[in-house]
Structure 1
Amino acid sequence: MYSALRTFLLLAIAILPAAAQRYNGHGYFYYGVDAPSNGNLAQMMSTGIGGEAFVWKGLAAGAELGYLFPRTEPGTGVGLFGVSGAWHFVNRDKPRKFVPFVTAGYTLGFREGTANLLHWGGGASYWFTRHVGLRTELRLYEYAGTYQQHFDTSVRFGIQFR
């Protein structure tokens, strides 16, 4: 056991300089105020966690798990699982503090049944330190296949880490 722990620590110390050289991805927690197509902003709320990994230049692939619920009845919400692509306007070798992005993808809504949704939007990250930042995002959802009825508009705020 001691040998395995020592090996793990030596490997972690060895790869830290390589990890610090390049920005390869990030994770985030978010809280959002949402509006269904026939409602007001903040009628619904959302919260969740996600992450993105860069695959080429500013192109990233990501996934997230969240919960969308009415402000007055939090126990009657729906789960959300999303996968998406994003373009971050960033130089990964020398990232700036302010990094705008656009995103689009697929979201599965689930509770007793399921709903297929498309999402798109954009936002920005502001990195306070090398590893912690603020993430803001505007995201629009539509039922997949209808392209006419907005399901939800979400304004999200979160903490981002790398």
Structure 2
Amino acid sequence: MLINIDSFGSPAGPTFVDGISLALASRLFALNSKGIQSPLVDTQPKALTKWRLNRSIDYIEANLLRPIYLIELSNAVGLSRMHFASQFRAATGYAPNRYILRRKIAHAQTLLRDPRMPIVDIALLLGFRTQAHFTVVFKGIVGHPPAYWRKHCC
């Protein structure tokens, strides 16, 4: 099932699959664990250090037009996927795959300012497999479909 999730056309599909895999592994571990956690243990994940956050954001920006895998980001900052994902979320407020989608849509807004560039070309450039999926994601983040945004918000 997890292998087929990428076929939905999401440009963050690989990152999403990695995140789901980690969540499932974590949940299974928790269900099988018999140990009792000490109340003195801090259960809040620490945020990424500033240099790790900057490096991961730079990596995302440099590779925005291609699929970005969670393992690539975690390797770029020297953390495991699980630690990176939780610390990235603590630092940004977004899971890595959600952050990547938001950055893609922000880039799309810049591209939409050029009325000569067709929306379908923008969608494909940013890694969406269809304009329809791009429109759904864009509307979910921005609040309006790309054509409306281009016409009224530029």
Tell me if both proteins adopt one fold, taking TM over 0.5 as the criterion: no
Higher strand share: 1
The interval holding the TM-score normalised by the smaller chain is under 0.3
TM-score by length of 2: 0.23
TM-score by length of 1: 0.22
* Higher RCO, Cα 8 Å, sep 6+: 2
